[in-house]
Structure 1
Amino acid sequence: MKSAVENLNPTRVRLTVEVPFEELKDSLDAAYKKINQQVTVKGFRKGKIPARVIDQRFGRGAVLEEAVNDALPKFYTEAVNEAELNVLGQPEVDITELKDNELLAFTAEVDVRPVIEIPDYSGIEVEVDAVEVTDEDIDKSVEQLRERFASTTPVERAAEDGDVVTIDLEAKVDGEVLEDGVASGVSYTIGSGELLDGIDDAVKGLAANEEATFTSELKGGSAAGREAEVTVKVTQVAKRELPELDDDFAQLASEFDTLDELKADSRKRLANMKQFDQATQAQERVLEKLLELVEVPVPEKLLEDEINTRKHNLEHHQLGQMGLTLDKYLEIQGKTAEEFETETREAAVKGIKTQFVLDELVKQEKLNVNQDELTEHLMRRAASSGMSPDQFAQAVVEQGQVPLLVGEVARGKALAVVVEAATVKDTNGEIVDLEDEDEDEAETEQSAEVTEGDKKDDEA
């Protein structure tokens, strides 16, 4: 077999392959055998029809077509390996010549990973938010905890802001009550904004057994996005009472004996959270700087596939679960279809470039992934997916996605190398020393952004 490579552009090549006919022998034998099992010829037992009879009855061309279809993947793979190409996706194959008993020639156009030169990245400098926990932050945190331990007491008066009301709801569209538009015994805190627009104004001023009607756009259900006439009836009004902020509250809401100890713990936890946010911010900003330094051509077909995958996942998974259409989502977001298209394309380009650059760094730095790192990453991914580690691991193995997880961990380690070499300062001008644990957490979050296009790449 002879093959040659022509570079069509930085991300696409054309392979020209010539195969001597004798190399088709195994595939021709397999083709005759397959046809033998599929057809019957009077006078011959099934599976025992001579090749010359098959040629006469069904045509040599049918045999050759079967043989070529069987052999092409093998010859294509051999040509790819011989040229040491890192291909992406499936090739577009064109048989240019097929001479019986002489020659098979074909071309295959396919996207390839671009050659990327990683420049010196040690000069990267980024600024991140300083880790500062204020007294206001502490007060807000303690107040949120206090809200969780609030109690309610029924009252004989009209509902006010902050009250918890028990309500019955009935929604009509075009004068007809919706099958899924009736609910009873719903608990709602006035002012929380958790139900329908307009409900706060409707229930305020109502006492038990009083009702009101208002118009609102439904957020979910069979008539999501449509205007409905909603009748709300208050069956109970209850006043929320917050516990006193004292040592008794600290003992009730935590393992601490005093309010001061509870506040000190809140300060520590908030500092840890802000340090994590700072590490994540450093990862993101260093990555942005790195991508600015590297010229990364993006295969157009890979990009289009990635854009389509992102749109599909948004429309049919994320928005579908919320009962929203894409048009309604864009309306809520205040975006035009053109803005959405632009943002989706930019995000897809960044995702693909990120993988290309970090994968090149993995090779350059000779980074490996050990079992402990893979297991830790799997546990985190399982937690974020809502599955148990065993369930997630089983799904990963069944779907053949172990290499994808290995790639995610390796890219996280590659980014960590760049962050370690970069200069990270906070908004106060202080050098930030990112602790290993915080870095690892942030790396995992960053490297987990693996696109569907990336998956196609790994599989290829």
Structure 2
Amino acid sequence: MKSAVETLSPTRAKLTVEVPFEELKPSLDKAYKTIAQQINVPGFRRGKVPPMVIDRQVGRGAILDQAINDALPQLYVQALQDNDLQPMAQPEIEVTKLEDNESLEFTAEVDVKPEITLPAYDDLTAQVEDVAVTDQDVEEQVQALRERFATLVDVDRAAEDGDFVVIDLVAQQDGQTVEGAELTGMSYKVGRGGMLDGLDEALAGMSAGDERTFSSQLVGGDLVGTDVDVTVKVDKVQEQELPEFDDEFAQLASEFDTAGELSEDVRERLGRGKRLEQAAAARDAVLEALLERVDIPLPETVVTDELNSRRQNIEQQLAYAGLTMDKYLEDEGQTAEEFEADLERRVRDAVVAQLLLDEVATKEELGVDQNELQQHLSVRAQQSGQDPQDFVNHMFEHNHIPELVQEIRRGKALAQIVENATVTDASGNVIDLKNLRPDGTIGDPADETDEATDEKGDAEQPAAEPDEPTTAAARL
């Protein structure tokens, strides 16, 4: 087999491949064998039909088509390897010449990885914000912990912001109840928002036994965005009573004996969490500084595919949260054009970053051992909320392990770059970034600040705020 490559652009190449006919013989034999099992010819057993008889029955052209379709993928991959090309998308293949018993010629146009000249990456500098834990930060965490142990008490007055109400809800369209848009006995915190436009305004000033109807739009289900009339009835108005923050509470809610010890632990955990956030910001700032040193052309098809994938993922997440894209843009204060421009910028930066980190990993000869792969699989399983073994099985069955290995190599490359960079905070202090994980991640600050304490397993926890409503509530 002979092949030649023509550079169409810095990111696109055209392969021209000539294949001697004898190299197609294994695929031809396979095609004859396959078709022999599929046809019935009088005088011959199934699977034993001679090639010349098959040619008369189904035609030589059908055999050649099947053989070529079988051989092309391997021939294409061999041509890529021979010409040291790294594809970034699916090729456009065209058979340009086929002479039976003589030769096959085909072309393949494909987006390829551009040539990259690595810039210096051992002298990068970046700056991030200072780490500061304020008394207000501590108070907010303590308040959240007290709310988890709060009790709800019925009150005989109109609902106010911050109260809890037990309500019945029903949405109607043209006088007919919308299927799945009816709730009974749901506890809701007035002023919380995020469930149904107009609900908080309707509840303000309502007392037990009051009923009110207002206009809104469904935020979930098949009728998302549909205008409906929502009737809300208040069954109870409840006030949240918080426990005193004293030594007794500290012993109930944590492993500490005094409120002072608990407060100090809250402050320490917040500090660790903010330092992790600062480290993550430093990592991103260093990567951004590296990206400013390069100008790498990108295949537009790759950018478009990634844009479509991310856009679809965002839309799915919004639908899951019961939000429309218009509502999301309104909350973010963005126009559709601004959103698209920002998304495209982030996609291009992400693709360039992957290409750069791949080059660094290759230059630094970074590998991945079994323990690193296992740890990465465990983290990814946790992030996706899947059983670790089920996740591992899925990755192996669908041949995603090479992608995960590449993720780890990129992470290690980024970690090495960040460790060699000089990052300072706003006060001029140098930040130590030599404790990144092997995959380049920093960690989840939420792990350090989640309620600021470990709860006792046998502690009584009265319901302070109900879980987010599901099913019908999500539809509303």
Give the alignment's TM-score, normalised by structure 2.
0.87
Deviation at 1:428, TM superposition (A): 0.6
Deviation at 1:325, TM superposition (A): 4.6
Q: 1:52 to 1:224 in 2, by over 3 A?
A: closer
The Cα RMSD (Å) is 2.3
**Greater mean deviation of Cα atoms: 296-305 or 217-226:** 217-226
* Separation (CA, whole Å) in 2 of partners of 1:441 and 1:65: 48
Match of residue 100 from structure 2: 100
Q: 1:206 to 1:97 in 2, by over 3 A?
A: closer
Aligned-partner residue type, residue 178 of structure 2: L
Match of residue 379 from structure 2: 380
Match of residue 13 from structure 2: 13
Is 1:187 matched with 2:194? no
Asked whether the 8 Å contact 1:416–1:443 carries over to 2, the reply is no
For 1:29-428, what aligned pairs fall within 5 Å after superposition?
Answer: 29-315=29-315, 317-428=316-427
Deviation at 1:359, TM superposition (A): 0.8
Q: 1:57 to 1:190 in 2, by over 3 A?
A: closer
* Separation (CA, whole Å) in 2 of partners of 1:119 and 1:76: 33
* Separation (CA, whole Å) in 1 of partners of 2:175 and 2:296: 58
* Separation (CA, whole Å) in 2 of partners of 1:388 and 1:142: 33
Asked whether the 8 Å contact 2:410–2:439 carries over to 1, the reply is no
RCO (CA 8 Å, sep 6+): is it higher in 1 or 2? Answer: 2
- Post-superposition Cα deviations, 1:401-453, rounded to whole Å, max 9, x if no partner, equal 112221111111100111111110001111111251579673578xxxxxxxx
* Residue aligned with 2:89, SS: strand
**Greater mean deviation of Cα atoms: 330-339 or 270-279:** 330-339
Aligned residues: 444
Long gaps (5+) in structure 2: 445-476
* Separation (CA, whole Å) in 1 of partners of 2:32 and 2:199: 75
Asked whether the 8 Å contact 1:245–1:259 carries over to 2, the reply is yes
- Post-superposition Cα deviations, 1:141-194, rounded to whole Å, max 9, x if no partner, equal 212212222212212233233222211112222322222222111112222225
Deviation at 1:222, TM superposition (A): 4.5
Q: 1:437 to 1:266 in 2, by over 3 A?
A: farther
* Separation (CA, whole Å) in 2 of partners of 1:95 and 1:88: 21
* Separation (CA, whole Å) in 2 of partners of 1:79 and 1:198: 63
Asked whether the 8 Å contact 2:373–2:408 carries over to 1, the reply is yes
Deviation at 1:334, TM superposition (A): 4.4
* Separation (CA, whole Å) in 1 of partners of 2:431 and 2:233: 56
Deviation at 1:305, TM superposition (A): 1.6
The percent identity for this pair of structures is 51
Asked whether the 8 Å contact 2:2–2:19 carries over to 1, the reply is yes
Deviation at 1:323, TM superposition (A): 4.2
Match of residue 435 from structure 2: 436
* Separation (CA, whole Å) in 2 of partners of 1:141 and 1:391: 36
* Separation (CA, whole Å) in 1 of partners of 2:438 and 2:20: 56
**Greater mean deviation of Cα atoms: 291-300 or 196-205:** 196-205
Asked whether the 8 Å contact 1:125–1:423 carries over to 2, the reply is yes
* Separation (CA, whole Å) in 1 of partners of 2:322 and 2:152: 33
Asked whether the 8 Å contact 1:138–1:263 carries over to 2, the reply is yes
Asked whether the 8 Å contact 1:276–1:442 carries over to 2, the reply is no
* Separation (CA, whole Å) in 2 of partners of 1:194 and 1:389: 32
Q: 1:376 to 1:261 in 2, by over 3 A?
A: same
Aligned-partner residue type, residue 341 of structure 1: E
* Separation (CA, whole Å) in 2 of partners of 1:224 and 1:70: 47
* Separation (CA, whole Å) in 2 of partners of 1:55 and 1:161: 83
* Separation (CA, whole Å) in 2 of partners of 1:97 and 1:427: 66
Deviation at 1:57, TM superposition (A): 4.3
Deviation at 1:47, TM superposition (A): 3.4
Aligned-partner residue type, residue 196 of structure 1: L
Asked whether the 8 Å contact 1:36–1:47 carries over to 2, the reply is yes
Q: 1:354 to 1:126 in 2, by over 3 A?
A: same
* Separation (CA, whole Å) in 2 of partners of 1:268 and 1:244: 22
* Separation (CA, whole Å) in 1 of partners of 2:422 and 2:403: 30
Asked whether the 8 Å contact 2:11–2:111 carries over to 1, the reply is yes
* Residue aligned with 1:442, SS: coil
Asked whether the 8 Å contact 1:409–1:444 carries over to 2, the reply is no
* Separation (CA, whole Å) in 2 of partners of 1:374 and 1:263: 39
Deviation at 1:201, TM superposition (A): 3.3
Q: 1:392 to 1:289 in 2, by over 3 A?
A: same
Q: 1:181 to 1:27 in 2, by over 3 A?
A: closer
* Residue aligned with 1:90, SS: coil
* Separation (CA, whole Å) in 1 of partners of 2:329 and 2:169: 28
* Separation (CA, whole Å) in 1 of partners of 2:388 and 2:71: 41
* Residue aligned with 1:289, SS: helix
Q: 1:54 to 1:170 in 2, by over 3 A?
A: closer
Aligned-partner residue type, residue 33 of structure 1: K
Give the alignment's TM-score, normalised by structure 1.
0.90
Match of residue 448 from structure 1: none
Deviation at 1:264, TM superposition (A): 0.7
* Separation (CA, whole Å) in 2 of partners of 1:359 and 1:428: 34
* Residue aligned with 1:89, SS: coil
Q: 1:26 to 1:164 in 2, by over 3 A?
A: closer
* Separation (CA, whole Å) in 1 of partners of 2:176 and 2:65: 62
* Separation (CA, whole Å) in 1 of partners of 2:37 and 2:221: 54
- Post-superposition Cα deviations, 1:310-369, rounded to whole Å, max 9, x if no partner, equal 223333x32332344545544554444433332332222122111111111110111111
Long gaps (5+) in structure 1: 446-460
* Separation (CA, whole Å) in 1 of partners of 2:25 and 2:437: 60
- Post-superposition Cα deviations, 1:252-273, rounded to whole Å, max 9, x if no partner, equal 2211111110111011100000
